[in-house]
Structure 1
Amino acid sequence: MAGKRTVLTVRLRRLAAMLHEMRETAQLSKEEVSAKTGINVTTLYRIETAQARPQRRTLMAMLDLYGIGNTQREDALALLADALKPGMARAYEGSVTEVYAAYINFEAEARSARHYQTSTIPGLLQTYEYTTAVISTSMPALEASVMESRAKARMDRAANLSKEKPLELWVVMDEAAIRRTVGGPSVMRGQLERLLKETERKNVIVQIMPFDAGAHPGMSGPFTLLDFPDPADPELVYVEGIAGDELIEGRAEIRRFGVIFDQLRAMALSPRDSAAMIYDAAGRLG
C-alpha cells in the first residue's frame, strides 16, 4: 500500500551508501553477512540500495559485525533516526509515484537544480491554474482528490525558491513551453507573467531554447540535475518520461547529463533575451 512504501530521502540514501562501504571495508559478501547475522540477503540488498530502512536491531547487528567504532556508530544511528522522519513528500505519497515522491524529498534539500524542460513550464515556476490544466490531461484520467493533491504538491515545492537558503535554479526550456497555450489565453498569460516575475529572483536563471536553434541534445526529453550541500550526498539526475520517471546515479551518467546541460545553456538565448521572448509571448495573448 502507498502508505507503507519506503520513500527515498537524502538521509536514507546516505545511510545506505555508508553501510555498503562498511561491508566492503570489512571484506564481507552479502552472503557472509547473512550467515553471521541471520539477515536475509535480499533484505541486505534492499538496505544497501536505500529501498528499505533497517530496523535498529538490524543496523546494530551489521555495525557489530563490521567492527564499527563509537564515532561511526553514532553517525549511522543518527542517520537512521533522521531517515525515520517523514520527508517533504509525506503528505502526497498516496497520490504521486514513489520516484516522484523521492524527487520531492531530494529537491527540498538540494543546493541547486539544473533543469531542462521540453513542452511545459517547469513545475517550480507554475501557477496553480496552469498546473491543474496540465494535470487534467493525465491518462488515464485522475480522480479529483488526486489531481488536487498533485497540484498542491507542485505549489508547495515552489517554497524551495524562497526559503532561508533558497534552491539555486537554472532552467533551460524549449520555446514550445511558452508558445503552447495551456488552459486558455488568460491562464497562459498569467503563467508567463509569473515566469517573468520569477526571473527577477537572484537564485533563478531562465533561458529559452528557440525554435531556430535547430536540433539540440535535449530533444530526447526533460531532466533535472540536483546538487547537494553535503559532499557525502552525490549528485543525481531525475528523468521524466511517459513510461515512468527515474532517478539516476553514477559518476558517468551524472557527467553525461552535466555536459548535455552545458551544451543546452550555451545554445539557448541569454537570460535577458529569453525574458524579452517571454514578454512578447505574453503580449500576444493579451
Structure 2
Amino acid sequence: MAGKRTVLTAGLRRLSVLLLEMRDDAGLSKEDVSARTGINVTTLYRIETAQARPQRRTLMTMLDLYGVEEVRRDEALELLSDAQKPGMSRPYEASLSEVYAAYINFESVALSARHYQTSFIPGLLQTEQYAMAVIDTCMPKLEASDLERRARARMDRAAVLAKDEPLELWVVLDEAAIRRMVGGPEVMSGQLRRLGEATKRKNVILQILPFDAGAHPGMAGSFTILDFPDPTDPELVYVEGISGDALVEGHTEIRRFGVMFDQLRAMALSPRDSAVVIAEAAAAAEAMA
C-alpha cells in the first residue's frame, strides 16, 4: 500500500552512506556479508541505497561484523533513530508520488534552494486557490480528497520560509508563469500579490526571465538544487517532467545544473526590476477580475 512505503529522508540517506562506508572499510563485499550474517544480498543493496530502513537487530549484526568502534556505532544508531522519524511528507504520502514525497522531506531540512521554474509559480510561493487550479488542471482525474491533500501539502511546505532558520530561496521564474491566467483573473491576481510580497522577504530572491531573453538553458524543464547545513549531506537536484519527477545525485550532474542556474540568473532581470514586472502583471490581472 502507498502508506506503507519507505519514503526517503535525509536521515535515511545519511545512514545508507555510512553503512556503505563501513562495509568498504571492513573490506567486505555484499556477498561476504550475506554469507556471514544471513542477510539477503538484495536487502543489503536496498539498505545501502536508502531504499529500505534496516531493523535495529539487522543494523547491530552489520556493525558487529564490520568491527565498528563505539563512536561510529553510536552514530549509526542515532541515524537509525532519525530515519525512523516520519518526514514532513508523512501525512500526505498516500496522495503523493514517492519521489515528490522524498523531495518534500529533503526540502524541509535544506539550507538553501535554487529553483528554476518554466511554467508555474513555484510551489512554496503559491496560494491555495492557485495550487488547486494547477493540480486540478494537470491531474484532471484526481479524486477530490487527493486534490485537497496535495494542495494542503503544498501550503504546509511553505513553512520552511518562515521557520527560525528559514530556507534561503533563490528563484528564476520564466515570464510565462506570471502571464498565464491560471484559475482566472481573480485567482491570478491574488497569486501575483502573494508573489510580490515574497520578493520583500530577506530569505527570498526572485528574478523574472523575460521573453526577450530568447533561448536559454532552462527550456528543457524545471529543476531545484538543494543544499544542506550538514556537510555529510551532498547536494541534491529535483527535476520535474511530464514523464515523471526525479532526484539526481552525483558531483558531475549537480555541477551541470549549477552552471545552468548561474546562466539563467545572469540572463534574468534584477530582483528590483523583477518586482516591478510582477507588480505590473498583478495590476493587469486585477483590472480583469
TM-score range, shorter chain: over 0.9
Return the offset for 1:138: 2.6
Q: How does 1:82-97 map to 2 (within 5 A)?
A: 82-97=82-97
Amino acid at match of 1:235: E
| Distance (whole Å) between structure 2 residues aligned to residue 169 and residue 101 of structure 1 | 19
| Distance (whole Å) between structure 1 residues aligned to residue 198 and residue 40 of structure 2 | 50
| Distance (whole Å) between structure 2 residues aligned to residue 24 and residue 259 of structure 1 | 33
Partner of 1:247: 247
| Distance (whole Å) between structure 1 residues aligned to residue 97 and residue 139 of structure 2 | 14
| Distance (whole Å) between structure 2 residues aligned to residue 141 and residue 208 of structure 1 | 32
Return the offset for 1:56: 0.6
Partner of 1:236: 236
Partner of 1:138: 138
For structure 2, list consecutive stretches of 5 or more residues without a partner in the other structure: none
Partner of 2:29: 29
Partner of 2:211: 211
Partner of 1:196: 196
Q: How does 1:121-136 map to 2 (within 5 A)?
A: 121-136=121-136
Return the offset for 1:139: 3.5
The Cα offsets for residues 90-141 of structure 1, whole Å up to 9 and x where unpaired, read as 0000000011000000000000000000010000000011000001113451
Amino acid at match of 1:197: E
| Distance (whole Å) between structure 2 residues aligned to residue 265 and residue 25 of structure 1 | 42
Q: How does 1:142-221 map to 2 (within 5 A)?
A: 142-221=142-221
| Distance (whole Å) between structure 2 residues aligned to residue 206 and residue 145 of structure 1 | 32
Return the offset for 1:280: 0.9
Aligned residue pairs: how many? 286
Shift in CA distance, 30/140, structure 1 to aligned 2, threshold 3 Å: farther
Amino acid at match of 2:160: N
Partner of 2:280: 280
| Distance (whole Å) between structure 2 residues aligned to residue 263 and residue 132 of structure 1 | 32
Q: CA RMSD in A?
A: 0.7
| Distance (whole Å) between structure 2 residues aligned to residue 38 and residue 128 of structure 1 | 51
Return the offset for 1:26: 1.1
Partner of 2:105: 105
TM-score for both structures, normalised by structure 1: 0.99
Return the offset for 1:210: 0.4
Partner of 2:50: 50
Amino acid at match of 1:196: G
Partner of 2:13: 13
For structure 1, list consecutive stretches of 5 or more residues without a partner in the other structure: none
Partner of 1:32, secondary structure, is helix
Partner of 2:219, secondary structure, is coil
Shift in CA distance, 174/232, structure 1 to aligned 2, threshold 3 Å: same
Amino acid at match of 1:55: Q
| Distance (whole Å) between structure 1 residues aligned to residue 146 and residue 2 of structure 2 | 13
Partner of 2:67: 67
| Distance (whole Å) between structure 1 residues aligned to residue 64 and residue 73 of structure 2 | 9
Return the offset for 1:82: 1.0
| Distance (whole Å) between structure 1 residues aligned to residue 177 and residue 132 of structure 2 | 16
| Distance (whole Å) between structure 1 residues aligned to residue 28 and residue 248 of structure 2 | 27
Within the alignment, does 1:4 sit opposite 2:4 as a pair?
yes
Partner of 1:63, secondary structure, is helix
Amino acid at match of 1:79: L
| Distance (whole Å) between structure 2 residues aligned to residue 24 and residue 254 of structure 1 | 25
Partner of 2:173, secondary structure, is strand
| Distance (whole Å) between structure 1 residues aligned to residue 282 and residue 104 of structure 2 | 30
